[in-house]
Amino acid sequence: MVTIKDVAKASGVSPSTVSRVIADNPRITEDTKKKVRKAMKRLGYHPNISARNLVAKSTKAIGVIMPSSADKALQNPFFPEILRGIGSVIHDVQYSMSLSTGETEEEIFREVQRMVYGSYVDGVILLYSRVNDRVTNFLRENEFPFVIVGKPYDHETEITHVDNDNFRAGKEITEHLIAQGHKRIAFIGGSRELIVTMDREAGYEAALQGAGLENCDGYKIHTEFLKSGGREAVEYLLSLETRPTGLVVSDDLISLGILARLEEAGIHVPHDVSLVSFNNVYLSEITRPALTTVDIQIYELGAQSAKVLIEKTKNRNEPAKRIIIPYHIINRDSVNDLR
């Protein structure tokens, strides 16, 4: 391995000068810079990152934590997309990103511990937000720079987070259904532990209430995210005396399953029942019918979270921020006008 010393020797300067050339320090002559750079190129010099990290006490790396989850849920295209958003800004500032590898909550927790205590990363992005999360608490207690994509369960004002207004989105998309003449509207969501589910559901409820519609528990279904592709949820729905005419589904991937199960049962979307959902992943535009869904701008969610985190790592007493990414309702073909 060729080090800074080799370059120094080869170009007849001191190691510190070489270091300064690397940092493009203005106090170095263009001449020496040129000379040193030539030597670097000739010898094939590249700075050793570990050495630099050691003295800089910063790794220019951020940790990205995926939710604990045996299997399927992670196949949600939400994740590659948000990673892409994070990656884009990470890339621009020449940082790197380290992805969590744990499957269980416990594994992930220990991983985050290693990241933090080992000074392995300068900051952490949490790609989920759930009730009473150990990782969140740990990060908070250690005052380690982190940001949540989503809304924190508590200490909302102290934790920097990037989120959509999921309450309003839930409300608005439900109102959209109501405006089309729907009166019996059900909600199908993922785990109740997830804040995002809670928020969207609360929005749904508010819309019903606002329209003076009945708000019965029988119309709120929580499926263990991808459980059998929504079969149970649909079976339950079909067993109902008075079936809903509209469905608010908290995630496009769930919608896909629901859609298929519904059609299987001979119920056509949007003819027999209308469906709206959330996220606007690529999927939702290629299904049939294409989904009317809330575009939450996943990419932007990722990009902004990375941006604000990096600011935070650079200036540790940056105040906690809440960043709300606007959403847009994308009208496609899964909603029927009942009027």
Partner DNA sequence: CTGTTAGCGCTTTCAT
Partner DNA sequence: ATGAAAGCGCTAACAG
Q: Which stretch binds DNA (CB under 7 A): 23-31, 139-147, 172-180, 267-275?
A: 23-31
Q: Cβ 181 to its own copies, closest distance in Å?
A: 26
DSSP 68: P
Asked if residue 209 binds DNA (CB under 7 A), the reply is no
Q: Cβ 24 to DNA, closest distance in Å?
A: 11
Q: Which is nearer to DNA, 17 or 223 (CB)?
A: 17
Let me know: does 161 contact 322? Beta carbons within 8 Å: yes
Q: Which stretch binds DNA (CB under 7 A): 25-33, 61-69, 170-178, 179-187?
A: 25-33
- List the one residue from 91, 155, 314, 328 that touches its own copies (CB under 8 A): 91
Q: Which stretch binds its own copies (CB under 8 A): 191-199, 223-231, 232-240, 243-251?
A: 223-231
Pick one of its own copies, DNA, none as the site partner of residue 32 (Cβ within 5 to 8 A by kind): DNA
Q: How far apart are CA 25 and CA 157, in angstroms?
A: 40
Let me know: does 252 contact 217? Beta carbons within 8 Å: no
Q: Cβ 287 to its own copies, closest distance in Å?
A: 6
Q: Which residue has the tokens 């709120």?
A: 220
Q: Which is nearer to its own copies, 183 or 231 (CB)?
A: 231
- Cα of first residue to Cα of last residue in the chain, in angstroms, is 74
Asked if residue 51 binds DNA (CB under 7 A), the reply is yes
Asked if residue 42 binds DNA (CB under 7 A), the reply is no
Asked if residue 32 binds DNA (CB under 7 A), the reply is yes
> 234 — phi, psi (to 5°)?
-70, -40
Residues 6+ apart with CB under 8 A from 252: 277, 278, 279, 280, 281, 283, 284, 291, 293
Residue type, 222: H
Annotate 217-237 with b (16+ C-beta within 10 A) or e (fewer): eebbbbbebbeebbbebbeeb
Asked if residue 338 binds DNA (CB under 7 A), the reply is no
Pick one of its own copies, DNA, none as the site partner of residue 16 (Cβ within 5 to 8 A by kind): DNA
Q: Is the torsion defined by CA of 70, 76, 78, 82 positive or negative?
A: positive
- List the one residue from 9, 10, 16, 78 that touches DNA (CB under 7 A): 16
Interface with DNA (CB under 7 A): 1, 3-5, 12-17, 19-20, 22-23, 25, 27-29, 31-32, 45-48, 51-52, 54-57
